[in-house]
Structure 1
Amino acid sequence: MTYADLTATHAVAAKDGVRLYVEEAGQGTPILFIHEFGGNHASWEPQMRFFARRHRCITYAARGYAPSDIPTDVEAYSQAIAADDAVAVLDALGIEKAHVVGLSMGGFCTVHFGLRTPERALSLTVAGAGYGCEKVFEDYFRGVSLQVAENFEKIGAREFSRIYALGASRVQFETKDPRGWREFADRLATHSDTGAALTMRGVQARRPSFWDLEEELKAMAVPTLVMVGDEDDHCLQPGIFLKKTIPACGLSVFPKAGHTLNLEEPALFNAQLAEFIAQVEAGKWLPRDPRASPGQIMRTA
């Protein structure tokens, strides 16, 4: 019996007809997992195995990632399209609402899912999201994203993955768990050169900063958990910004951790996510108490 025999798989059509590969396991309240740029649907295996014990767990390969379709037009890739693809997956599976969990690129998608279709989200978990948001680095990020896209096209994923997998916020994973990191790096090497390049150009290089969405985020009432590694430097300030801006938002900072949180620290990630979902489902994850004024240092009267 193979892995495929144990897992329900689906081919889902997005709004524009692009086919998305979907896997699911388990029964119960749905959780939708959205992967990062450097991973794919299989990156969520530690969470699929853990949460499928009591939830209906769904993961899918984003457009541009096999075995989903790989459009060859950059205009088929955008942040809005990515968020709509997540909704299309729920629609195809007959799911009205789900807990939505995303890492990095998937974390941005999760934020936009909450902004565009809050009525479809039971909760949002935004992990390791923030690259390109800091205004001081915004232009640099767009430029380096285009360079990464060019590298995938010219060098190819098999060769360029050796460089990309050793980024400043990836080496923590390699140090802690060489076998896990190697599995991540090997998966990255299988990316479609075209899909990776167009995802970088169409989604990463064009997406808005969280600071550009401040008013919309202030109005978003969906219970939200932000997770960030304390050595994932360019996600720390964006994570704090989300905490301060989204009304019902909590922030969890993982010590001595980098970017690939769900794989680098799977036990801690799963425990934090399980507790968050339990509080949401119990109606206990509320907006910040107005008495907890950030302007107050000590109460004197």
Structure 2
Amino acid sequence: MPFIEAGNSRLYHEVHGEGPPVVLMHGVGGNHAGWFNQVPAFARRHRTVVIDQRGFGLSTDAEGLGRSAMADDLALVLDHLGIERAAIVAQSMSGGAAVNFACRHPGRVSALVMADTAQGIALSPDLAAIQAEAMKAGEALTPIERVFGPSFLAAEPSLAFLYRQISGFNRYNARSITGAFPLNAPEALAATGIPILFLAGAEERRFPVPLLRGVQAQVAGSRFVLIERAGHSVYFERPDAFNEVVLGFLAEAA
């Protein structure tokens, strides 16, 4: 099985296809299996790496480090695979790992996609207020309503069920995950010179669109793309649109 030893923990990963490397990193409700709509498309052009963050999917977290170790885990996976430089596509939670890795190792990141996330980025007071309001409003939502927009939930109940089944393989969830991501100033992220894309669903409720637009505006040189009829999980809700936008961005950044 494709495991990497990380202290007393084991990190699961898969590699598909050939070409410029790209790493797909899931959110707190996902794992490597959640990228089933992306892997076939990405692997036609890229050496596509999917990983289970520690405590998710088939990866373990014996030390209980959680988020605190995820940037180091990414370096470990890349080193194990002999990949010096890769594009990173980070969904939600994994944005924190991606931002920290990018700020620490800018030469190892060819492009960065922040999908439905501002994790790992220090928020200005006005944006922090938007985030706090969204978190409070989210208390009235079910877990699945935080993940998906109303359009997807109405149209695709069977896929929403599949998502819950995939999530069920995780040891951690949003309440139990340990550790924390260091916060980086948006100016520090911009200073890396890495091509950066922020992507969001128009029905996003976890990181509201005004928040993500505000963060993107503070990361000089970055781009923003809004996908209609999607919430917090564009990759799952609108995979064709997600793949087209992200693959196009990676091609331009190459």
TM over 0.5: yes
TM-score with structure 2 setting the length: 0.85
Q: 2:197, 2:243 → 1: CA distance?
A: 13
| Equivalent residue in structure 1 for 2:161, among 170, 178, 182 | 182
Query: Match for 2:129: what amino acid?
Result: V
Aligned residues of 1:129 and 1:238 also touching (Cα < 8 A): no
| Equivalent residue in structure 2 for 1:260, among 225, 230, 233 | 233
Answer 1 or 2: which has greater helix percent: 1
Query: Match for 1:96: what amino acid?
Result: E
Once the two structures are superposed, the pairs formed by residues 110-259 of structure 1 within 5 Å of their partners are 110-130=98-118, 134-136=127-129, 163-167=142-146, 169-192=148-171, 195-196=172-173, 200-203=177-180, 207=181, 213-233=185-205, 234-259=207-232
What secondary structure does 1:78 align onto?
helix
Query: Match for 1:187: what amino acid?
Result: I
Q: 2:211, 2:132 → 1: CA distance?
A: 16
CA deviation after TM superposition for structure 1 residue 230, in Å? 1.4
1:37 and 2:25 matched: no
What secondary structure does 2:193 align onto?
coil
Query: Match for 1:11: what amino acid?
Result: F
Distance 1:274 1:138, change over 3 A: closer
Specify the alignment match of 1:285 in structure 2.
none
CA deviation after TM superposition for structure 1 residue 48, in Å? 0.7
What secondary structure does 1:225 align onto?
strand
Identify the structure with bigger relative contact order (alpha carbons < 8 Å, sequence gap 6+). Answer: 2
Distance 1:232 1:139, change over 3 A: closer
CA RMSD of aligned residues (A): 2.8
What are structure 2's unaligned runs of at least 5 residues? none
Q: 2:246, 2:190 → 1: CA distance?
A: 23
Query: Which has the higher Rg, Structure 1 or Structure 2?
Result: 1
CA deviation after TM superposition for structure 1 residue 29, in Å? 0.7
Q: 2:166, 2:149 → 1: CA distance?
A: 14
Specify the alignment match of 1:13 in structure 2.
5
CA deviation after TM superposition for structure 1 residue 224, in Å? 0.7
Aligned residues of 1:34 and 1:103 also touching (Cα < 8 A): yes
Distance 1:11 1:163, change over 3 A: same
CA deviation after TM superposition for structure 1 residue 99, in Å? 0.8
Query: Match for 1:182: what amino acid?
Result: F
Specify the alignment match of 1:53 in structure 2.
44
Deviation sequence 1:44-97 (CA, Å, 0-9, x none): 111111111121100011101131113363xx1234x21111111111100001
1:272 and 2:249 matched: no
What secondary structure does 2:223 align onto?
strand
CA deviation after TM superposition for structure 1 residue 115, in Å? 1.3
What are structure 1's unaligned runs of at least 5 residues? 1-8, 148-161, 282-301
Q: 2:194, 2:91 → 1: CA distance?
A: 18
Deviation sequence 1:144-178 (CA, Å, 0-9, x none): 99x9xxxxxxxxxxxxxx94223374444322322
Aligned residues: 247
Q: 1:20, 1:268 → 2: CA distance?
A: 30
